[in-house]
Amino acid sequence: MKLLLQRVKNASVTVNNELVGQIKQGLLIFIGIVKGDTKQQADYLARKASNLRIFEDKQGKMNLSVKDIKGSALVISQFTLAGDCTQGNRPGFDNAAHPEEAKPLYEYFSAQLKNHGVPTENGIFQTDMQVSLTNDGPVTFILER
């Protein structure tokens, strides 16, 4: 399981020109689920993301979590994070979990973020989404488990 985490001032996602998720300050999280990923991995990454100290304190140091700043998360499924670009010029997606395996883990991850006290919005799984954001920093991390 792979997360691409971005610290944002705001983020939103639309599907078919309809706003389906929106946050103010917090985390935009793209999640890629690989074949064989488990709930234990989702638990670990939800806990890690909710406690990761990447927001600035009054001294300008990255010392606060999304919970500390009372921020939110916008979680977007992105199977392309499981892509393999090592061979040729066309990415391979053999490692990506099938939708029937990935969707429950995506939903579980989002529920775990909420359980850790992070208000969470979502995109719509397996749809063409348009994501808008104002990156804060920019600050971007990749978390894997």
CATH code at 131?
3.50.80.10
Instruction: List CB contacts of 88: < 8 A, sequence separation 6 or more.
Output: none
Q: Rg of the chain over CA atoms, in angstroms?
A: 15
Count of H helices and E strands in the chain? 2, 8
Q: What is the pLDDT along the chain (145 residues), one digit of tens a residue?
A: 999 999 999 999 999 999 999 999 999 999 999 999 999 999 999 999 999 999 999 999 999 999 999 999 999 999 999 999 999 999 999 999 999 999 999 999 999 999 999 999 999 999 999 999 999 999 999 999 8
> Catalytic pick from 80, 120, 127, 134?
80
d(CA 90, CA 33): 20
- 88 is in which domain, residue-wise? 2-137+140-144
CA distances for 73 relative to 35, 70, 76, 84, 133, angstroms? 24, 10, 10, 27, 12
User: Tens of pLDDT along 24-44?
Assistant: 999 999 999 999 999 999 999
* Residue 93 CB neighbours (<10 A): 11
80 is catalytic: yes
Joined together, the tokens standing for residue 113 give 């973020």
Joined together, the tokens standing for residue 11 give 């983020």
Instruction: List CB contacts of 14: < 8 A, sequence separation 6 or more.
Output: 20, 129, 130, 132
Q: Is 123 helix (H, G, I), strand (E, B) or coil?
A: coil
Q: How many domains would you assign to the chain?
A: 1
